[in-house]
Amino acid sequence: MEEVSFSNILITGGVGFIGANLALTLQELYPQSSILILDDFSSANFKNLKKFKGEVLACDVSTDEVFFKVEDIKLDVIFHLASITDTTVTDQELMMRKNVDGFKNILELAYDSEAVVVYASSASVYGNVKEHVPLREDREKSPENVYAFSKYIMDNIAEDFSRKTGVKTVGVRYFNVYGPGEAHKKKFASMIYQLYLQMKANKRPRLFKWGEQKRDFVYVKDAVEATIQAVKAPYSTVYNVGSGEARSFNEIVALLNKYLGKDLEPDYFDCPYDFYQEYTQADMTKIKEELGFVPKYNLEKGIEEYVNILEGKVDYPVKGIL
């Protein structure tokens, strides 16, 4: 990873899945930096940060409270991951207030500190893509639910804010992230983790018919590296963060069978969601050309390491993550 330096780092949502992995990685890479985490603990578990040496404060960043929490700190970079991540939430006012209003508060903090903002966007902004092609960042967006819409609006706000103020904002458009530290999310954890739990208990893995829906699954270590590299983007922009591969749920089951030493057949059932994405695949050209980022984990390598960690066969390289 190319060297970048920080003095004061703010991570919102830093007790959550990606945020905790990010916090502990930054702590290892930059032990002299001061790291402050703000989190409302709505989708978080303190156990993810048992090895964290910095400060953690309870805070809802969509309220004015956020300004008092950091009023005496000159921030260099803000990693903004705080948001409602439950894509099934239908309360539109709540989703927009938490995700969009919260983001606008963070941008105001960045303006005051002249800090770089790296924020979590989402591949859900692309919508239910019919053609099976890699998704470029500049393709037409078609959010299918209010979560995706909130991320779409955040991208628009970031672009406009950067143009008007000169503050650098960089969106990391996460595809399907999986890996250690997501157990607390329960039914909202990755399908890889949920299928692992089912198969570990010798239950047939449940898939929507017929398991050939494809996703771009990205291991959390790759997602974290891309997030950190985004700080050195040459201009305000948005980058896809995926593996660059579209893989089926049937393939996940096959790999879990292999690494768990089982032979369980899928239990297929009808999909109940009308906004379900049938296919995602990140076009990784832009982030590779501009930041030199190339994912280190394909699905085989990622699932093998993840299963070994879950089975207690190896320790997770970032200390303290479940």
In a domain, 263, yes or no: no
In a domain, 141, yes or no: yes
- The predicted pLDDT at position 277 comes to 79
Please say whether the beta carbons of 220 and 181 come within 8 A: yes
- The predicted pLDDT at position 317 comes to 66
Q: Please tell me the distance from the alpha carbon of residue 98 to that of residue 229, in angstroms, as a whole number.
A: 26
Report the number of distinct structural domains present in the chain: 1
The pTM assigned to this predicted structure is: 0.95
Given the residues 147, 178, 279, 297, the one annotated as active site:
147
Q: Is 147 a catalytic residue?
A: yes
Residue 273 above 90 pLDDT? no
Q: Please tell me the distance from the alpha carbon of residue 71 to that of residue 88, in angstroms, as a whole number.
A: 35
In a domain, 264, yes or no: no
- The predicted pLDDT at position 129 comes to 87
In a domain, 249, yes or no: no
Each residue's pLDDT tens digit, 44-91: 999 999 999 999 999 999 999 999 999 989 999 999 999 998 888 889
- State the pLDDT confidence band at 316, using cuts at 50, 70 and 90: confident
Q: Which domain holds residue 158?
A: 8-178+217-242+282-295
Could you give the residue ranges of the DSSP H alpha helices within the chain? Answer: 17-29, 65-69, 92-96, 102-113, 146-165, 191-200, 220-229, 249-260, 285-291, 299-310
- The predicted pLDDT at position 1 comes to 46
SS3 292: coil
Please say whether the beta carbons of 270 and 226 come within 8 A: no
In a domain, 166, yes or no: yes
Angle between helices 191-200 and 249-260 (to 10 degrees): 40
SS3 239: strand
In a domain, 145, yes or no: yes
In a domain, 59, yes or no: yes
Given the residues 185, 214, 221, 286, the one annotated as active site:
185
Q: What is the CATH number of the domain that holds 68?
A: 3.40.50.720
In a domain, 136, yes or no: yes
Helix (H) or strand (E) run with residue 248 in it: strand 247-248
- State the pLDDT confidence band at 319, using cuts at 50, 70 and 90: low
Percent of the chain with pLDDT over 90: 87
- The predicted pLDDT at position 130 comes to 84
